[in-house]
Chains A and B, each alone.
Chain A
């Protein structure tokens, strides 16, 4: 809709925010600030989802990661002692660094080497509908075509909730 330049600027802003915030998460001293920066990073990812017409994913990202997981992380931080001390060095640090580097290398290689097949501009009807009305299509798949898997996942989560309640119950 808008010009390409406009989209490019927005993309680079979002990318820089996401990666910059992620780097700061491991760099800052205060655990609390790290958790907040994690939220910034999550929001950046949501923005990139929104840019590629995946609005449902973007909103789910904000709903689950910012509204749920990040708040849980902050609660955990609040229950932690010496929040401002920062991370102590551990003997596994070099190993972790190595693993992270290998992961980054693999992913970068995969992204660069992959043959990205772009969809044509004029999609056939049913395929185009997926982009226009994603939630309806998702809903159809979830509760009609793959309803068994959906119900099994629901039962599993329900069992997990009951298990958690049983574990923390006072006698």
Chain B
């Protein structure tokens, strides 16, 4: 097993208790510590996902000049609990023609990749479950399981809208997976490693500054993977009711929603690790010192707590930005969505990898100054590329000819 729990504080505490006090086997200590950490991480992230529903509704309310949920508990904070209770007491309906087993399994499969990705995310200095040497690839691979869940839900519902919705969603997710993986490749090239911990440690400057093109492609592609605005084809009620969610009700629907919102948090964590220096905070002290707001204490525990704080802060930034985008942009049509993936993002992501690869050949282990030069070149390239893409590529803003036009889909 690559990169275990040896550096983890909880592991060391459990190890001390189980092996040294009780005299049990060391693998048992490993097992217990892993279970404890998994319990904390999974529940913590699911609670954050639940809270994110509240956060998004409140912030959206602000953007739209209204209040949002504010009656249940202080500031409406208990609204997610009220929602969950409501969903649990609803009748659980399974359509008559549906494949009952697959229909019920789909929400569970939907939640699986969300939780699996958590295994390799470093939430703070030395606090991760596993440091895989293929971490970045692991994200792409595990994320692919979502497609299967969508297809299961759409097909098992035995509903035309659900099937169409799932096919559209899958066509979109599969198309955006390619620029997403290419953006991840750019990060891998820059850090010369696929391990998430190594990527964080290699970021003397945040990769958001060093590789703006890659970060932009990643953000766009991840919003499509998350089914978020402006790629939320599921919410196109006038075209497909609610897509593959049409037949779902009660807690099954709740699990889908939970997965969707938790996925946003997890995507924020991935973005923080890959592009925002993860748990580090060196933007304002680029000489590599780790001075932060708790820096004056200069003890291990303070630095540990601070690293967690910065990580959560960056996840929060992503969550806010995601809500901001949702409040700002209208939804794209499915053909525009696919055009954007293939005509704009795919070439841009290739360009990104090409430029970064050349730069890494010139500066194999970049220092802060060299990263700064790379950033300057990359910003120029990104600006030129966006200009060219905007001039050359048309997403087809007119209504499509053919079947869509015949039934008046706009």
Chain A residues at the B interface, C-beta cutoff of 8 Å: 1-3, 6, 30, 32-33, 36, 39, 53, 55-56, 59-60, 62-63, 66-68, 70-71, 74-75, 78, 132-136
A75 to B31, CA, bound (A): 40
A68 to B170, CA, bound (A): 11
Determine if B2 and A67 form an interchain contact, defined as CB atoms under 8 angstroms apart. Answer: no
A74 to B193, CA, bound (A): 34
The answer, yes or no, to whether B249 is at the interface (CB within 8 Å) is no
Determine if B133 and A78 form an interchain contact, defined as CB atoms under 8 angstroms apart. Answer: no
Among A32, A62, A136, the one with the most B-chain Cβ atoms within 10 Å of its Cβ is A62
Q: Which of B143-159 contact A (CB under 8 A)?
A: 143-145, 147-148, 151-152, 155-156
Determine if B147 and A71 form an interchain contact, defined as CB atoms under 8 angstroms apart. Answer: yes
Contact pick for A78, options B134, B137, B142, B155, CB 8 Å? B155
- The closest CB in chain B to the CB of A71 belongs to B147
Determine if B141 and A62 form an interchain contact, defined as CB atoms under 8 angstroms apart. Answer: yes
B147 contacts which chain A residues (CB < 8 A)?
67, 71
Determine if B27 and A3 form an interchain contact, defined as CB atoms under 8 angstroms apart. Answer: yes
Shortest Cβ distance from B342 into chain A, in angstroms?
11
Determine if B99 and A2 form an interchain contact, defined as CB atoms under 8 angstroms apart. Answer: no
Determine if A135 and B27 form an interchain contact, defined as CB atoms under 8 angstroms apart. Answer: no
Once A1-B4, A2-B27 are accepted as A-B contacts, the answer to whether A71 and B170 lie under 8 Å apart by CB is: yes
Chain B residues at the A interface, C-beta cutoff of 8 Å: 1-2, 4, 25, 27, 30-31, 99, 101-102, 132-134, 137-138, 140-145, 147-148, 151-152, 155-156, 163, 167, 170, 174, 177, 193-194
Shortest Cβ distance from A64 into chain B, in angstroms?
9
A75 to B173, CA, bound (A): 14
Determine if A33 and B151 form an interchain contact, defined as CB atoms under 8 angstroms apart. Answer: no
Determine if A55 and B99 form an interchain contact, defined as CB atoms under 8 angstroms apart. Answer: no
Determine if A67 and B145 form an interchain contact, defined as CB atoms under 8 angstroms apart. Answer: yes
Determine if B163 and A3 form an interchain contact, defined as CB atoms under 8 angstroms apart. Answer: no
- The closest CB in chain A to the CB of B132 belongs to A55
Determine if A67 and B141 form an interchain contact, defined as CB atoms under 8 angstroms apart. Answer: yes
A85 to B323, CA, bound (A): 46
Determine if A2 and B30 form an interchain contact, defined as CB atoms under 8 angstroms apart. Answer: yes
- The closest CB in chain B to the CB of A50 belongs to B1
A110 to B132, CA, bound (A): 33
Determine if A30 and B99 form an interchain contact, defined as CB atoms under 8 angstroms apart. Answer: yes
B156 contacts which chain A residues (CB < 8 A)?
32
Once A32-B102, A67-B147 are accepted as A-B contacts, the answer to whether A133 and B133 lie under 8 Å apart by CB is: yes
A-B contact pairs, 8 of them (CB 8 A): A1-B4, A3-B25, A60-B137, A63-B141, A67-B177, A68-B144, A74-B148, A75-B170
9 new A-B contacts at CB < 8 Å, known A36-B152, A63-B137, A66-B148: A1-B30, A3-B27, A32-B102, A33-B102, A55-B132, A71-B174, A78-B167, A132-B2, A133-B133
Determine if A59 and B99 form an interchain contact, defined as CB atoms under 8 angstroms apart. Answer: no
Determine if B144 and A62 form an interchain contact, defined as CB atoms under 8 angstroms apart. Answer: yes
Among A3, A59, A133, the one with the most B-chain Cβ atoms within 10 Å of its Cβ is A59
Once A78-B155, A132-B2 are accepted as A-B contacts, the answer to whether A32 and B99 lie under 8 Å apart by CB is: yes
Determine if A59 and B141 form an interchain contact, defined as CB atoms under 8 angstroms apart. Answer: yes
Determine if B148 and A71 form an interchain contact, defined as CB atoms under 8 angstroms apart. Answer: yes
A136 to B133, CA, bound (A): 9
B30 contacts which chain A residues (CB < 8 A)?
1-2
Once A32-B102, A135-B194 are accepted as A-B contacts, the answer to whether A70 and B132 lie under 8 Å apart by CB is: no
